[in-house]
Amino acid sequence: MVCGASGVGKSTVARLLAARYGVPLAEADDLVTGIKAVTTAEQQPVLHYWDTHPEAAGWEPEKIADLHLAVAEALRPAFRAVIADHVEGPAPVLLEGDYLVPDLVGGFGGAVRAVVVSEPVADQVVANYRAREPGSGVPRGRALISALVERRLAERAADAGVPVVAARPWADAVDRIDRALRAGNQLDNPI
**Bridge partners, residue 169, by sequence:** none
The reported pLDDT for the residue numbered 138 is 67
The reported pLDDT for the residue numbered 191 is 31
Span 2-183: which CATH code? 3.40.50.300
pLDDT < 70 stretches in the chain: 138, 184-191
The reported pLDDT for the residue numbered 183 is 87
The reported pLDDT for the residue numbered 120 is 85
The reported pLDDT for the residue numbered 158 is 95
